[in-house]
Amino acid sequence: MIRTVVIWGVVLAVAAFALEFLKYGYVVRAFPAPVYVGIVATVFAACGAWLGWRLTARRQGGFERNDQAVTSLGLTPQEVRVLERLAAGQSNKEIARTMELSPNTVKTHLSNLFEKLEVSRRTQAIGKARELRLIP
């Protein structure tokens, strides 16, 4: 985050310097004003496009849990963890092993999950959880 701020600061400083250079340098005398304006417009359009691309590209790759849905559904942290393992394709027994629980406990959490998600099968739970952005 800090690195991003520093980079942007440098970019802005360079841009400001370039503007001053254009303003008082040779270009403004060598070319008519429309060319100058065109250069500025092009550069800023490119910067804007890059910015927009980066902002959405990050949203594409990164995933952030819909915490609002989690609380509104009343999902407990443990249930969310079980849900993640479930979506990873693990069986109840495997989930129990990786979470160091009894298979019975996993079953209980899953039953509660199914009720809160209003589904009856694990495959449906995966679909619903993806819809609600509970899992990537």
Q: Give the gyration radius of the chain's Cα atoms.
A: 26
Show Cβ contacts of residue 106 under 8 Å, excluding neighbours closer than 6 positions: 82, 92, 95, 96, 99
Range 41-45, long-range pairs (CB < 8 A, 24+ positions): 43/15
Q: Is 134 among the residues that bind DNA (CB under 7 A)?
A: no
From the list DNA, a copy of itself, none, which binds 69 (C-beta under 5 to 8 Å, kind-based)? none
Q: Per CB under 7 A, which region of 12-20, 23-31, 41-49, 96-104 contacts DNA?
A: 96-104
Name which position in 12, 42, 104, 118 contacts a copy of itself (CB under 8 A). 42
Q: Is 91 among the residues that bind DNA (CB under 7 A)?
A: yes
Show Cβ contacts of residue 121 under 8 Å, excluding neighbours closer than 6 positions: 114
* Residue pair 64/103 in contact by the 8 Å Cβ criterion: no
Nearest approach, Cβ of residue 69 and DNA (Å): 15
- One-letter amino acid identity for 129? A
From the list a copy of itself, DNA, none, which binds 42 (C-beta under 5 to 8 Å, kind-based)? a copy of itself
Q: What is the DSSP letter of 134?
A: S
Tell me whether residue 99 or residue 119 sits nearer to a copy of itself (CB atom). 119
Q: What is the contact surface with DNA in residues (CB under 7 A)?
A: 74, 76-79, 91-93, 101-105, 107-111, 114, 120-123
